[in-house]
């Protein structure tokens, strides 16, 4: 019998990457839903959906990710990132489904100078990071069978993300200013999608919280330069400090994630970020929202 996999946030870039490779896994039945089909902030709606569909796995890609707007729309970000995560966890617990929840490097404050492990103290700087951490805590308090995957700087050929934004801007401008003092790791959503499906197909029971990103270290400036170099775009990219580009939300200056745990537990070997970027840039671009 096929295992049924519910994927929330079905129009987002990670869900789109999962959808793009889903046909390679005929033993899995995927249900992709967006907020118009399943409102995860509504507990009754979630329970009704689980009652009507035999869900074996739930991949929660739904999130409020507009980091600056989250400082204003605090009730909405709380509902999606905390209440939504709690509602899905409760439904999974009731129906004995396993939950894969996507979290973020923004649960850390960025003040240390070594890559963050899963055991380092959290200290989010903004509403987005705080609510994502609260969502993690809700899940861990309700479920035993869960995977929380913290990732960073997600991009893909789908949706809206830094890579596609840079490519679009390069059609309009000859000079771009890009922040060079925020350090992290660009992560191709296609790689994360593959890792998640492998968790499911192997029926892993090694539950817990894990860091998953591509390998390596980069600034947003480095990321932008690589996008243009690989895509052979002739544009002048100027490094600027984040102080020259003020935003509503504070961001961690250093948010590189240590992947030692997933390497040891799953024998996983994430690709170097620039290698994954090259693969992504070869694919047709498909903005989805």
Active site residue ranges: 128
267 exposure class (CB count in 10 Å sphere: 0-12, 13-18, 19+): exposed
Q: How far is CA 169 from CA 152, 158, 163, 227, 280, in A?
A: 22, 16, 10, 12, 18
Distance CA 30, CA 47 (A): 18
Q: Say how far apart CA 125 and CA 229 lie, in whole Å.
A: 33
**Radius of gyration of the chain from its Cα atoms, rounded to whole angstroms:** 18
Calculate the CA 231 to chain-centre distance: 24
CA–CA separation, 243 and 181 (whole Å): 9
- Phi, psi for residue 135 in degrees, rounded to 5: -60, -45
């Amino acid at each position: 019998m096929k295992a049924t996999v519910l994927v929330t946030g079905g129009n987002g870039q990670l869900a789109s990457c999962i959808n793009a490779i889903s046909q390679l896994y005929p033993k899995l039945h995927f249900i992709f839903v967006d907020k118009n089909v399943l409102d995860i902030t509504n507990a009754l709606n979630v329970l009704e959906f689980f009652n009507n569909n035999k869900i074996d796995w739930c991949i929660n890609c739904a999130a409020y990710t507009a980091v600056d707007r989250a400082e204003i729309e605090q009730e909405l970000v709380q509902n999606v990132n905390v209440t939504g995560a709690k509602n899905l966890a409760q439904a999974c617990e009731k129906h004995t489904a396993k939950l894969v929840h996507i979290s973020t490097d923004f649960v850390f404050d960025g003040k240390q100078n070594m890559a963050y492990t899963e055991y380092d103290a959290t200290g989010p700087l903004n509403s987005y990071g705080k609510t994502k951490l609260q969502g993690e805590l809700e899940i861990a308090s309700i479920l035993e069978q869960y995977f929380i995957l913290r990732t960073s700087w997600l991009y893909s050929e789908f949706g809206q993300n830094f890579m596609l934004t840079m490519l679009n801007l390069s059609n309009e401008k000859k000079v771009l200013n890009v922040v060079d003092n925020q350090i992290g790791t660009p992560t191709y959503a296609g790689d994360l999608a593959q890792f998640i499906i492998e968790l499911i197909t192997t029926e892993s029971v090694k539950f817990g919280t894990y860091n998953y990103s591509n390998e390596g270290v980069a600034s947003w400036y480095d990321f932008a330069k690589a996008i243009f170099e690989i895509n052979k775009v002739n544009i002048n990219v100027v490094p600027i400090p984040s102080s020259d580009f003020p935003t509503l939300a504070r961001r961690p200056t250093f948010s590189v994630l240590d992947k030692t745990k997933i390497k040891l537990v799953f024998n996983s070997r994430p690709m170097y970020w620039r290698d994954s970027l090259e693969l992504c840039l070869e694919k047709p671009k498909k903005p989805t929202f």
